[in-house]
C-alpha cells in the first residue's frame, strides 16, 4: 500500500535558513576563484620548471595540482570545510616552497615571503568558518610555528634557484601585497560582523512575531521576562466552542483541499473578529474553534462580549452555502497556562471548559446554546429562548438557553 500525500502551499520563510544557504554559496565561490588563481600560478611554475629542467620544482607543482583537483572534487560533493583544510595545507606548502626555492633562509640576506604566514594566520579563520575551534587552532598553530622557524632562521639554507630578478621582485612586492591582504581581511571581518549582527536582529524579530502569533501578548511578555512556563487560576471568564458543521463529508472526497481552504477562510474571518473584540482564540481542534473572554486580560463584561461575538459568527457563516455553526457558551472559573516542554500552547483547563464543550456538542445546529451561569451574567441584553433541561455527562440535567438576537432596548448599552 502506498501512502499518498498532497502538499499545501506555505509562504513563511525563515531568514536564518536563507542566510546560511547564501553564506555557503559565497564560501564555495571564494574557493573556486582561489583554486583558479592557484591553478594558473602553478601552470606558470610548471612551464618554468620544464624550461630550466628543475625537476623538484616540477614535482612540487604537480603535487599542488593534485591537491587542487581534490579541492574541486570536495566542492562538488558539497564539503567546503574539508576543502578549506586542504586549501590551508596548500597555502602552507606554497609559502615554504617559495622560501626554499627563491629566497632561501640565511641570516645576512633579508627574507620577506614568510610574512605571508601572518596573513595566513589571520585569514585561516575565514576559510574554515563553521569548523570546530580546535581544528582551526591546529592550522593557526602550524602557521605560527612556521613563521617563528623562518623568522629566527633556525636552519639556514641557500635558495635552490638563484635569480636576482625574482629575488628583488619578491622582496619589493611581498610587503605591499601583505599589507593589502591584511586590509582586505580586516574589511571582510568588519563586514561579516555587521552582517551577523543584522541577521541576529532579523531572526530575533521573526522569533518575536512567531511567538506573538502563537501566544497572547500578555503571555509573551511574561515568558520573555520570566523565562518560565506557568499556569494561573481565573475566578471568572467565558468560554465558547464553535463547531463548523457541513464540512465533514467533503474531507474524504477528492476536493478535500477546497474544504480546508474554506475552513481556513472562515477561521481567518473569526480571528479578525476576535482580534477586534480583544479576546483570545485559544485553539482550533479540526473544525472546532475555541475562544475565551476574560483570560488572560481580565474583562468585566466577558459574557456579553462572547455572546455578541457568537452572533457575529452566525452572520459570517451565512455567506457560506451548506455550512452552519453549532455554538456553546459557558462561564465560570478556569485555570489557564502554558505547560509541556516543547508544546508551547496557551490552553485552558477546568470544569467550565468541559461544560462549554458539552454546550456545543449537545447543541442544535444554527443555534447558540448558553448555560445558566452565562445567562445570569448577560442579563437582559439578548433575546433568549428556554430549552427544556438536557442531560449532560457528569452533571445530570441542566437548564440551557438559546440566544436568538440582540435586545433592541439594551443594544446601545453593549
Binding site for other proteins (CB under 8 A): 1, 3-6, 8, 10, 213-215, 248, 251-252, 256-257, 259-260, 263-264, 267-268, 271-272, 275, 281, 283-287, 345
Tell the smallest beta-carbon distance from residue 315 to other proteins (Å): 18
Per DSSP, what are the bridge partners of residue 346?
A: 338
Closer to other proteins by Cβ: residue 153 or 281 = 281
φ, ψ of residue 234 in degrees (nearest 5): -115, 130
Closer to other proteins by Cβ: residue 35 or 317 = 317
**From the centroid of its chain, how far is CA 391?**
49
Contacts (Cβ under 8 Å, ≥6 apart) of 16: 199, 203
Tell the smallest beta-carbon distance from residue 230 to other proteins (Å): 19
Tell the smallest beta-carbon distance from residue 247 to other proteins (Å): 8
Tell the smallest beta-carbon distance from residue 275 to other proteins (Å): 7
Closer to other proteins by Cβ: residue 6 or 235 = 6
Cα dihedral sign for 32, 38, 41, 47?
negative
Tell the smallest beta-carbon distance from residue 326 to other proteins (Å): 15
Question: Residue holding cell 522569533?
Answer: 207
Closer to other proteins by Cβ: residue 192 or 391 = 391
Tell the smallest beta-carbon distance from residue 371 to other proteins (Å): 21
Tell the smallest beta-carbon distance from residue 16 to other proteins (Å): 19
Torsion angle (degrees, nearest 10) of CA 215, 328, 395, 388: 170
Backbone angle region of 322, left / alpha / beta, with phi > 0 → left and psi within -120 to 50 → alpha: left
Strands 368-371 and 324-338: parallel
Closer to other proteins by Cβ: residue 21 or 393 = 393
Rounded Cα distance, 57 and 101, in Å: 8
Tell the smallest beta-carbon distance from residue 217 to other proteins (Å): 11
Closer to other proteins by Cβ: residue 73 or 251 = 251
Question: Residue holding cell 473544525?
Answer: 287
Closer to other proteins by Cβ: residue 192 or 286 = 286
Closer to other proteins by Cβ: residue 214 or 231 = 214
Rounded Cα distance, 350 and 292, in Å: 13
Tell the smallest beta-carbon distance from residue 266 to other proteins (Å): 9
Closer to other proteins by Cβ: residue 208 or 272 = 272
Closer to other proteins by Cβ: residue 2 or 164 = 2
Tell the smallest beta-carbon distance from residue 412 to other proteins (Å): 30
Closer to other proteins by Cβ: residue 8 or 397 = 8
Tell the smallest beta-carbon distance from residue 346 to other proteins (Å): 8
Write out the three cell numbers for 345.
500552547
Amino acid at each position: 500500500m502506498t501512502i499518498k500525500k498532497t502538499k499545501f502551499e506555505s509562504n513563511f520563510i525563515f531568514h536564518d535558513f536563507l542566510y546560511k544557504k547564501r553564506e555557503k554559496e559565497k564560501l564555495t565561490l571564494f574557493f573556486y576563484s582561489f583554486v583558479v588563481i592557484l591553478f594558473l600560478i602553478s601552470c606558470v611554475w610548471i612551464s618554468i620548471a620544464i624550461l630550466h629542467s628543475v625537476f623538484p620544482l616540477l614535482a612540487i607543482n604537480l603535487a599542488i595540482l593534485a591537491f587542487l583537483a581534490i579541492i574541486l572534487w570536495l566542492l562538488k560533493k558539497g564539503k567546503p570545510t574539508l576543502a578549506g583544510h586542504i586549501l590551508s595545507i596548500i597555502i602552507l606548502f606554497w609559502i615554504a616552497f617559495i622560501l626554499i626555492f627563491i629566497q632561501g633562509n640565511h641570516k645576512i640576506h633579508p627574507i620577506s615571503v614568510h610574512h605571508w604566514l601572518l596573513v595566513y594566520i589571520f585569514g585561516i579563520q575565514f576559510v574554515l568558518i563553521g569548523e570546530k575551534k580546535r581544528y582551526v587552532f591546529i592550522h593557526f598553530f602550524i602557521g605560527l610555528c612556521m613563521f617563528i622557524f623562518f623568522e629566527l632562521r633556525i636552519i639556514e639554507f641557500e635558495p635552490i634557484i638563484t635569480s636576482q630578478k625574482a629575488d628583488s621582485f619578491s622582496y619589493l612586492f611581498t610587503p605591499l601585497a601583505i599589507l593589502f591582504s591584511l586590509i582586505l581581511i580586516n574589511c571582510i571581518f568588519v563586514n561579516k560582523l555587521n552582517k551577523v549582527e543584522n541577521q541576529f536582529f532579523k531572526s530575533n524579530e521573526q522569533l518575536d512575531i512567531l511567538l506573538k502569533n502563537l501566544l497572547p501578548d500578555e503571555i509573551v511578555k511574561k515568558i520573555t521576562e520570566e523565562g518560565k512556563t506557568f499556569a494561573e487560576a481565573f475566578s471568572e471568564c467565558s468560554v465558547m466552542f464553535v463547531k463548523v458543521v457541513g464540512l465533514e463529508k467533503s474531507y474524504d472526497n477528492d476536493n478535500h483541499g477546497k474544504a480546508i481552504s474554506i475552513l481556513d477562510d472562515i477561521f481567518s474571518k473569526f480571528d479578525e473578529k476576535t482580534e477586534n473584540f480583544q479576546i483570545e482564540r485559544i485553539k482550533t481542534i479540526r473544525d472546532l474553534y475555541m475562544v475565551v473572554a476574560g483570560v488572560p486580560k481580565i474583562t468585566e463584561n466577558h459574557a456579553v462580549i462572547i455572546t455578541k461575538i457568537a452572533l457575529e459568527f452566525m452572520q459570517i457563516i451565512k455567506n457560506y452555502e451548506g455550512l452552519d455553526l453549532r455554538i456553546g457558551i459557558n462561564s465560570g472559573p478556569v485555570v489557564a497556562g502554558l505547560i509541556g516542554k516543547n508544546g508551547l500552547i496557551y490552553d485552558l483547563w477546568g470544569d467550565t471548559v468541559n461544560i462549554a464543550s458539552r454546550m456545543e456538542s449537545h447543541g442544535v445546529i444554527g443555534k447558540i446554546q448558553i448555560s445558566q451561569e452565562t445567562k445570569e451574567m448577560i442579563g437582559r441584553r439578548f433575546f433568549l429562548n428556554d430549552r427544556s433541561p438536557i442531560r449532560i455527562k457528569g452533571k445530570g440535567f441542566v437548564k440551557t438557553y438559546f440566544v436568538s438576537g440582540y435586545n433592541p432596548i439594551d443594544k446601545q448599552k453593549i
